[in-house]
Amino acid sequence: MLTLIGKRVLQMIPTLFFVSVIIFLLQQLLPGDPALVLAGEEKDPVVIEQIRQRYRLDQPLPVQYLAWIGGVFSGDLGESMRLKEPVARLIAQKLPVTIQLAVMAMLFTLAIGIPAGIISAVRKNSALDYAANIVALWGISTPNFWLGIMMIFVFSVQLGWLPASGYVSPFEDLKASLAATVMPAFVLGNSFAGVIMRHTRAAMLQALESDYVRTARAKGLAEEKVILKHALRNALTPVITLGALEFGTLLSGAVLTEQIFSVPGFGKLIVDAVFNRDYAVVQGVVLVTATTYVVLNLVADIGYILANPRLRS
């Protein structure tokens, strides 16, 4: 297992290097000049030149890249051109908000998707199977912005049970934090729950038709034990892969949901940075997101081994 982890870590190095190059080059394709944006309406040529020198915008691209990546290795992601704050500090402030939202959304996803997929597979072609598939299709097809607006209208405006927007840190008030994030977390987890349900159902159907399940039943094991210990454990491999990737998607794809519920998270940070041509923030956020995806793939590989002992050899 340690050998596998070591190999995966070594593979991460060239992957992240090429990702950093792509991030830097694509950043240059953004329309507009950040120096002109920061110079204000007067656009004094002297001020513009000073901005270019301060942020190395007057230097060749290879020099800019080496300066940026050198800072990354030392933990310095640069300084926000607009906010005049270190990018690492901005990410450290915003990322925990989105992580909390993504974790809660993933809990909704797993709590709905996996049990629904198991029931749908065990009761194949029954009313429960059809109902679970309809719910999954509804979850996948429902736009997040529409569901978010409807939930605000029902639970905030009509019933007054939950706050319509905003965010409270769990370290300040746990109850208020959960109340503020439960609706955006459900909106995010709703669509992914349908995807998890479909994959769990397909994997369980394949597992239930395998020889080892028939052998377990022939030995007289209880049906619950056959389903949960034998079939589900072997069916979890594709679900683990999907779950790890979907968690990364939750971190990077919460932009619209955070806008609807006014959650000051990672998504809002990247949107503001793109509109303001804040190169350093965009590069830092995208690099952190890409690194998260790579790390989650490593976590998925480890999850395979823990879920399926046959892979340990």
pLDDT at 125: 82
The answer on 174 and 70 residing in a single domain is no
SS3 282: helix
Strand partners, 79: 86
The answer on 49 and 154 residing in a single domain is no
Structure tokens at 277: 């041509």
What is the 8-class DSSP label of residue 32?
Answer: S
Count of domains for the chain: 2
Structure tokens at 285: 């956020």
SS3 96: helix
Q: Which among 8, 41, 76 is the end of a domain? A: 76
The number of residues making up the chain comes to 313
CA–CA separation, 24 and 64 (whole Å): 9
Other CB atoms within a 10 A radius of the CB of residue 240 amount to: 18
Ranges of the chain with pLDDT below 50: none
CA–CA separation, 25 and 254 (whole Å): 25
The answer on 172 and 122 residing in a single domain is yes
The answer on 160 and 46 residing in a single domain is no
The answer on 158 and 210 residing in a single domain is yes
CA–CA separation, 145 and 187 (whole Å): 8
pLDDT at 307: 63
For the chain, the C-alpha Rg in angstroms (whole number) is 24
Find the CATH number of the domain harbouring 262: 1.10.3720.10
- The answer to the question of residue 38 being in a domain is yes
- The answer to the question of residue 198 being in a domain is yes
- The answer to the question of residue 212 being in a domain is yes
Residue 242: partners with Cβ closer than 8 Å, 6 or more residues away: 195, 196, 199
pLDDT at 44: 67
The answer on 102 and 69 residing in a single domain is no
- The answer to the question of residue 48 being in a domain is yes
- pTM of the predicted protein model: 0.74
* Amino acid residing at 229: K
Domain range for residue 58? Answer: 32-76
The answer on 239 and 278 residing in a single domain is yes
- The answer to the question of residue 20 being in a domain is no
pLDDT at 202: 87
The answer on 280 and 155 residing in a single domain is yes
- The answer to the question of residue 46 being in a domain is yes
SS3 146: helix
- The answer to the question of residue 181 being in a domain is yes
What are the DSSP E strand ranges found in 209-288? none
DSSP alpha helices (H): ranges in 41-82? Answer: 45-54, 61-73
Q: What is the largest CA-CA distance in the chain?
A: 85
The answer on 112 and 40 residing in a single domain is no
- The answer to the question of residue 152 being in a domain is yes
Stated as kind and residue range, the H or E segment containing 111 is helix 87-122
The answer on 237 and 192 residing in a single domain is yes
The answer on 127 and 69 residing in a single domain is no
CA–CA separation, 116 and 131 (whole Å): 9
Strand partners, 86: 79
* 78 exposure class (CB count in 10 Å sphere: 0-12, 13-18, 19+): buried
Q: Which among 9, 41, 76 is the end of a domain? A: 76
The answer on 142 and 280 residing in a single domain is yes
CA–CA separation, 184 and 180 (whole Å): 8
Q: Report yes or no: 164 and 152 within 8 Å, Cβ to Cβ.
A: yes
CA–CA separation, 270 and 90 (whole Å): 11
